[in-house]
Every structure is written in C-alpha cells, then in structure tokens.
Amino acid sequence: MKKLRVMMLVHPEMEPLDHLTDPKATEYIKRETEIDVKRALLKLGHDVRVVTVHDELRPIRKTINDWQPHIAFNLLEDFAGDGALDYYVVSYLDMASLPFTGCNPRGMMLARDKALSKKILHYHRIKVPEFRIFPYGKRIKTAKLKGLPYPLIVKSNIEQGSVGISQASFVSNEKELLRRIEQLHEMTHGDAIVEQYIDGRELYAGVVGNDRLEVLPIRELRFDDKASLEQRIATYNVKWNDKYRKKIGFKYDYAKDMKNGLKTKLDNLSKRIYRKLMLTGYARLDLRMDKSGDVYVLEANPNAAITHDDELALAAKKAGYKYEKLIDRVLQLGLKAGRA
C-alpha cells in the first residue's frame, strides 16, 4: 500500500484532539467520527494533517501549496454554518485538481435538496412520497393546502441527520400542519418539505462505488410492535440518542425477511437511485417499504456518517470490511475519481 499524505478536512469544533482518549467523555463522543477516521488512516500507514475549515478556504489552499497532499478526506457537512454550501468546498478541491473522498459536487447538490432529488427520481419512475414545498419567509396560500394526503411528515428541505424531526413532525390535519411548518421555519430559517407518510418498514441501503457499485447488507430501524403511527419515524432522538431508542423499544439492526428476491430488488433499486442522482464515493439511502411491498425513497445521504458504529460502517462490517478496510476503500475511490 502506497503511503499517502492525507489532508483531513473537519469543522473546528470537531478537531480530533490527540489528548481525548476516554470514549465515554462528551468531547470524545462529539468528535468520534473524526477520531475514528484519523486513527484508521494512521493504522493504514498514511501521513495525516488535520485542517479545520469554517468560513474561508485559505487553510486548504495553504496546505495544498505547502504540503502537497495526495488526497483530501472530506468530513465537512457545511461551510460557514450553512449546510447548503457543503458542495462548494468540494468544488474548490475539484478545481484545484486535488482528489477527495466521498461525493462529487453535482451529486451533493442534487441530493442535498430533498425536493429536487425527489423530482428527479419521480421522473425516472422511482417511487417517492407525494410532497410539497413551503418556502421560508413566504405566506402559505390556501390552495396549496388542498388535497394533501394526511398523515404527513414535516421536515427541513436541506438539513440532514434528522435535524428538526420530532414527534411533532407527524401531522394529521391542517391546523397541526400549519403550526409545524411555522415552528420548522423558525428553527431552521429554511424551506419546509411536507411529504406523505409511508406506513411500513424503514430500510437503509449503504452504497459504495463510483462506476461499479456495491450495495452493502441492508440495515433496518425496527419499531416496537406497540408503537403508534406517529411514533414510527426516525426522529432526531431516535437517530442519535441510544438511551431514548432503548427506552421506546426501537432498534437498528440488519434487515431480516429478505425473501422472494427482496434483497436483489433493493440492491437494483439502490443502484438506480445512486446513478440517477449522480452520486459517487459512498452514500446511505433511506427507504420505506409499505405493506404491499412498494419501496419509496425518503432521501439520499451522500458522505453519510462513517463512524465505526454508524449504519454504513456496520453494513460494511457485515460485508466483510473491517473499519480500516472501509476507510481504505473510501480513499481508493477518491483517488480513482481524481484520476478520471
């Protein structure tokens, strides 16, 4: 394996400080992804230089000029606190002819906008929930509220990681809908997407690759049998709070009951979604399968969370990838894309 100079791009508050060694400490947990990736890169024998990025590109340019890295390992999720600008940094790396890990700028832009990605998928006859957009700062017209297929889920059009999603995101009538849209606008200062609630299994497909794609073993969020419809959603607490998830009886696990060609169906669908949204590197696709077996795309997440115990890494582990091997695979894909 060739020894590489790897520039890790991280947010300032996520810098993987070497003195953090207690995995139960708050500051360690906050930076767990960055710590995991840095350790894996060092174990693989690479030189690593951490570069923190907030609202200017100068640190990246200086590191490129002074150190001449072979590749950037991109762990940024926003620029200057704006998630809609995350792909601008990758665009800069592209213009600087520096290979980078994860998704290309176009794929990031298409997937970040949930409404745009759903329109593209719908055009290609891939099922998505019925949806409408309610722009931030604009008065809601009465006509736009007619014919909505209740119950609905209200969430941010661009935020990821279930930000802004709670039990209150599930609405059953116009009064609840208007109240939740107003709350979401206040929380995110961004557009709200209101989409049809799909009752069924919540499935996660990890996809790795650029041209030749590998769909990892499917993961699933299993709901408690006694949970009501409004509880059967992946809220922020469900996604990030282990104690809360255990308390309500929800569990992330490998999907079972993959009979009658279901795994092949999901693999083929996942590859289609990945290609239609022009994704590269690695991504996690969030799917819902209703009781009739129809599969709907909730959203696509390029550069998905890649901590050792996140859904993508656990799916990769099931496929035979130790964590360091997964990180190496991500690196190699970035290098190959950079040479294309």
CB atoms within 10 A of CB 82: 12
Per-residue model confidence as pLDDT tens digits over 188-228: 999 999 999 999 999 999 999 999 999 999 999 999 888 88
Q: How many residues does the chain have?
A: 340
Homologous superfamily (CATH) of 199-218+255-339 is: ATP-grasp fold, B domain (3.30.470.20)
Token output for 26 = 């708050």
The predicted pLDDT at position 322 comes to 96
CATH number of 128-196: 3.30.1490.20
pLDDT at 230 over 70: yes
Per-residue model confidence as pLDDT tens digits over 101-159: 999 999 999 999 999 999 999 999 999 999 999 999 999 988 889 999 999 999 999 88
CA–CA separation, 304 and 205 (whole Å): 11
Judge if pTM exceeds 0.85: yes
Phi, psi of 222 (to 5 degrees): -95, 130
CA–CA separation, 157 and 327 (whole Å): 29
